[in-house]
Amino acid sequence: DSGVTQTPKHLITATGQRVTLRCSPRSGDLSVYWYQQSLDQGLQFLIQYYNGEERAKGNILERFSAQQFPDLHSELNLSSLELGDSALYFCASSGRGGTGPYEQYFGPGTRLTVT
Amino acid sequence: DAKTTQPTSMDCAEGRAANLPCNHSTISGNEYVYWYRQIHSQGPQYIIHGLKNNETNEMASLIITEDRKSSTLILPHATLRDTAVYYCIVRAGRIQGAQKLVFGQGTRLTINP
């Protein structure tokens, strides 16, 4: 158990819909990362938040957005869903302070299926 | 971040040591070598990391060559539960707040009974 929790575990929705994925980081971790894993793309970094602020952006579509709340949990919002958005979405957390290096601990993921 | 090269797949007998190589010839002085693994569709699991010295923890050992251009992850007594995709990632370690991981294709390690 990494200490990172993600809900829901599975999500099935239709094209054009909007969903929200939730992540709770390990206690004390300040950074939250979102990754997408699809069959043809492998694990891809989407976005990072550090202590409530966006810190780095990867290949995140404009239809996707995220935020980190004051209690450090994070949500990834996916809108106008397309079939190609079907994937595993992982959240990771890191950084309890100190000088690093900062390994990341991953949650169990949310499997999104768009029909 | 430096690019890494790993074999696509490897096999190992249960109970034997599994040695997974990784080439990172363009690594720079402040970059660490990290290893993660992903068992089936579970979340990637952190294994170990190192800068230039060899490292060992309860899961594995990491051997980094003196020129730091390659490394080997060693699972000393592989079990069937070690069957997974293993990722070698090179990145700067001591940067808080900007630390995305760039995953390559990794090595699919199969432990055979």
Pick from A104, A110, A113 the residue to mutate for testing the B interface (most B CBs within 10 Å): A104
Q: How far is it, in rounded angstroms, from Cα B98 to Cα B28?
A: 17
CB contact under 8 A, B43 and A50: no
Neighbour-count burial for A17-38, b at 16+ CB within 10 Å, e otherwise? eebebebbbbeebbbbbbbbbe
Beta carbons of B43 and A48 less than 8 Å apart: no
On whether any CB of chain A is under 8 Å from the CB of B35, the answer is: no
CB–CB contact A94 B42 (8 Å): no
Bridge partners, A51 (sequence order): none
How many Cα atoms are found within 13 Å in the side-chain-facing hemisphere of B53? Answer: 2
Taking an 8 Å cut-off on Cβ atoms, the answer to whether B97 and A88 are in contact is no
Task: Give me the total of CB pairs closer than 8 Å, taking one residue from chain A and one from chain B.
Answer: 82
- Is pLDDT above 60 for B98? no
Q: Is B99 on the interface with A (CB under 8 A)?
A: yes
Per-residue pLDDT of chain A (115 residues; tens, 9 = 90+): 889 999 999 999 999 999 999 999 999 898 999 999 998 778 999 999 989 999 889 989 999 999 999 999 999 999 999 999 999 999 999 876 555 667 899 999 999 999 9
C-alpha distance from B63 to closest chain A C-alpha (Å): 18
Instruction: Give CA–CA dist A50/A56, Å, rounded.
Output: 9
- Read off the DSSP letter of residue A25: P
pLDDT in tens, B59-68: 999 999 999 9
Tell me how far apart the alpha carbons of residues A72 and A70 are, in angstroms, rounded to a whole number.
5
What is the number of other CB atoms lying within 10 angstroms of the CB of residue B46? 18
Q: Does B96 touch chain A (CB under 8 A)?
A: yes
Q: Is the pLDDT of residue B1 over 80?
A: no
Residue A88 burial (CB count, 10 A): 18
- DSSP code for A98: S
Residue B93 three-state SS = coil
